[in-house]
């Protein structure tokens, strides 16, 4: 997926950009990058962060850099931020999203024979570079950013560090959030004087508090702003229609982040409580698969009054990253090594586990088998969202498998011997087909029982109205 962060300040912004970008590390596993404007022009670096944490890669480089404007990103795919010199001036650019019509946009750009794009691995185009080419074909950053919004199918939010300040453009359907924070800081608190003002723009609002910022603005879908040390200048208004990703709250958003007025952890408590209200099950303990299952499990436990416990702990000293490697075998190994059972809490117990979702199901099956090896009596599983039936068309998730590898699709293949054209019945909990599919998944993964959260209660827990949310990966509806 990926995330980005930028700061413009009356003082030095280097530490804020470094830590603020680091706070997006749960959103991507591939590349990390920082770009600062200094008195000598751009200071930009990009590192592979597949095996090392972001901070470890950048820490040594930053001593000695002084800058009052910078952006950083965590990317699941292409190297970013890119630094560009064009008729718009020198600028650095970073994007979050997924451009589905990337080849069509490139072919259109090549009608101008003076345009070329660098190829990255396997003949692919760097989507951030393509966005910069689109931008440069217009007269101003505003027109360029609007042209990007119009051209892109999929989703695309953009951050630009320019000589004017930082331009931020939220995806035209607001698929991912963008939030502005402001802080006033004294160089020397004891001496007083005039505070230095800084503004940041962030995908994850969890960056704000520890860096001393207060949220002052949240961009609407398609909205474009320019951040300067004077504040937020609105460049293009928000569009009416929003389709923010519902999976942000259920799975990949950070618990301390809030989007569109709903905090992630609070949503998870409400969601877990709704799951508990929908059934009566006799178990000894409610637990969550760390990390994103924990909030849903706490909500379930509080509502059902069944004690919450941690029959698993994560070995965080060396297995700290929450996203997982792209290779399935390595991912299974990491998952196995990262979670440690506590046999004393498992032996002879009937356990109910909440998890954010079931994607392939392979890790969950391994986890449940491990619990049985520790003599669990029963293991009941409660995913916090409906069965995933479709791949994500709007965001680049490295952890999302091919659609046919989704546990729900594999169950449908088993039941039908092929993939029916219409899967609508499989997303309707009242249908026989849905219940047959859930039975099939539960048996394949060796669960005592399996019950998915229903989409209405999940949407209710998010609380911003179904019409504002993307739920495509569950419903197949745009």
Q: What does the binding site for ligand SF4 look like in residue numbers (CB under 6 A)? A: 175, 245-247, 392, 394-395, 470-473
Q: How far is the CB of 460 from ligand SF4 (least distance, A)?
A: 16
The residue among 27, 18, 6 whose CA lies nearest residue 169 is: 6
DSSP label of 251: I
Taken as a whole, the chain contains a residue count of: 478
Neighbouring residues of 154: CB distance < 8 A, sequence distance ≥ 6: 97, 98, 99, 100, 101, 393, 394
Tell me if residue 154 falls in helix, strand or coil: strand
Torsion angle of alpha carbons 360, 362, 364, 365, nearest 10°? Answer: 130
Q: How far is the CB of 188 from ligand SF4 (least distance, A)?
A: 45
Task: Write the Ramachandran bin of 463: left for phi over 0, alpha for psi from -120 to 50, otherwise beta.
Answer: left
Residue 129 vs 356, nearer CB to ligand SF4 = 356
Measured distance CA(287)–CA(371) in Å, rounded: 12
The residue among 97, 79, 127 whose CA lies nearest residue 1 is: 97
Residue 285 vs 470, nearer CB to ligand SF4 = 470
Residue 9 vs 75, nearer CB to ligand SF4 = 75
Burial-class residue 255 by CB neighbours within 10 Å (0-12, 13-18, 19+). middle
Q: How far is the CB of 392 from ligand SF4 (least distance, A)?
A: 3
Residue 77 vs 183, nearer CB to ligand SF4 = 77
Are the beta carbons of 373 and 365 closer than 8 angstroms? Answer: no
Q: How far is the CB of 219 from ligand SF4 (least distance, A)?
A: 17
Q: How far is the CB of 247 from ligand SF4 (least distance, A)?
A: 4
The residue among 421, 389, 387, 415 whose CA lies nearest residue 403 is: 389
Residue 73 vs 96, nearer CB to ligand SF4 = 96
Torsion angle of alpha carbons 54, 207, 142, 9, nearest 10°? Answer: -90
Q: How far is the CB of 124 from ligand SF4 (least distance, A)?
A: 20
Residue 22 vs 355, nearer CB to ligand SF4 = 355
Residue 11 vs 255, nearer CB to ligand SF4 = 255
Residue 66 vs 477, nearer CB to ligand SF4 = 477
Measured distance CA(454)–CA(187) in Å, rounded: 52
Measured distance CA(443)–CA(428) in Å, rounded: 20
Measured distance CA(379)–CA(347) in Å, rounded: 11
The residues that bridge with 89 in the sheet, in sequence order, are: 86
Measured distance CA(311)–CA(87) in Å, rounded: 59
Residue 116 vs 477, nearer CB to ligand SF4 = 477
The residue among 77, 224, 212 whose CA lies nearest residue 165 is: 224
Q: How far is the CB of 102 from ligand SF4 (least distance, A)?
A: 17
Q: How far is the CB of 93 from ligand SF4 (least distance, A)?
A: 22
Measured distance CA(43)–CA(254) in Å, rounded: 29
The residue among 206, 222, 151 whose CA lies nearest residue 5 is: 206
Q: How far is the CB of 175 from ligand SF4 (least distance, A)?
A: 5
The residue among 141, 232, 217, 131 whose CA lies nearest residue 178 is: 217
Neighbouring residues of 234: CB distance < 8 A, sequence distance ≥ 6: 223, 224, 225
Q: At residue 62, what are phi and psi to the nearest 5 degrees?
A: -85, -20
Are the beta carbons of 75 and 32 closer than 8 angstroms? Answer: yes
Residue 286 vs 395, nearer CB to ligand SF4 = 395
Q: How far is the CB of 476 from ligand SF4 (least distance, A)?
A: 9
Q: How far is the CB of 173 from ligand SF4 (least distance, A)?
A: 9
Residue 135 vs 245, nearer CB to ligand SF4 = 245
Q: How far is the CB of 74 from ligand SF4 (least distance, A)?
A: 17
Residue 88 vs 455, nearer CB to ligand SF4 = 455
């Amino acid at each position: 997926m990926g995330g980005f962060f930028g700061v413009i300040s009356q003082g030095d912004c280097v530490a804020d950009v470094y830590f603020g970008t680091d706070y997006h590390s749960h959103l991507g596993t591939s590349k990390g990058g920082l770009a600062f404007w200094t008195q000598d022009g751009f200071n930009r670096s990009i590192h592979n962060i597949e095996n090392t944490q972001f901070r470890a890669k950048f820490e040594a480089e930053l001593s000695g850099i002084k800058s009052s404007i910078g952006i950083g990103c965590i990317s699941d795919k292409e190297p970013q931020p890119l630094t560009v010199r064009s008729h718009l001036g020198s600028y650095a650019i970073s994007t979050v999203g997924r451009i589905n019509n990337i080849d069509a946009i490139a072919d259109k750009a090549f009608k101008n024979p003076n345009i070329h794009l660098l190829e990255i691995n396997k003949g692919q185009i760097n989507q951030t570079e393509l966005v910069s080419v689109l931008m440069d074909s217009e007269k101003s950053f505003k027109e360029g950013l609007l042209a990007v919004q119009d051209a892109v199918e999929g989703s695309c939010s953009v951050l630009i560090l320019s000589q004017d300040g930082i331009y931020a453009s939220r995806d035209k359907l607001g698929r991912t959030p963008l939030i502005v924070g402001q802080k006033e800081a004294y160089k020397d608190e004891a001496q007083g004087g005039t505070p230095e003002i800084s503004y940041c723009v962030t995908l994850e609002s969890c960056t704000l508090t520890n860096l001393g910022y207060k949220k002052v603005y949240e961009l609407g879908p398609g909205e474009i702003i320019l951040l300067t040390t004077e504040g937020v200048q609105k460049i293009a208004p928000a569009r009416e229609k929003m389709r923010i990703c519902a999976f942000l709250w259920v799975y990949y958003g950070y618990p301390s982040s809030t989007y569109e007025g709903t905090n992630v952890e609070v949503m998870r408590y409400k969601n877990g409580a709704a799951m508990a209200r929908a059934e009566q099950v006799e178990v000894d303990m409610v637990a969550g698969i760390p990390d994103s299952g924990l909030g849903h499990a706490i909500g379930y436990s509080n509502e059902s009054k069944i004690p919450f416990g941690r029959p698993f702990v994560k070995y965080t000293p060396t297995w700290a990253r929450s996203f997982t490697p792209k290779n399935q075998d390595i991912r299974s190994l990491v998952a196995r090594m990262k979670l440690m059972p506590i046999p004393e809490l498992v032996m002879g117990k009937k356990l109910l586990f909440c998890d954010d979702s079931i994607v392939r199901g392979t890790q969950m099956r391994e986890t449940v088998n491990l619990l049985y090896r520790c003599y669990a009596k029963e293991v009941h599983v409660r995913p916090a969202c409906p069965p995933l039936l479709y791949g994500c068309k709007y965001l680049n998730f490295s952890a999302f498998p091919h659609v046919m590898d989704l546990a729900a699709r594999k169950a449908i293949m088993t039941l039908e011997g092929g993939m029916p054209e219409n899967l609508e019945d499989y997303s309707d909990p009242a249908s026989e087909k849905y219940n047959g599919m859930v039975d099939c998944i539960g048996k394949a993964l060796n669960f005592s029982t399996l019950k998915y959260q229903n989409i209405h209660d999940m949407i209710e827990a998010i609380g911003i109205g179904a019409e504002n949310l993307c739920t495509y990966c569950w419903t197949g509806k745009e």
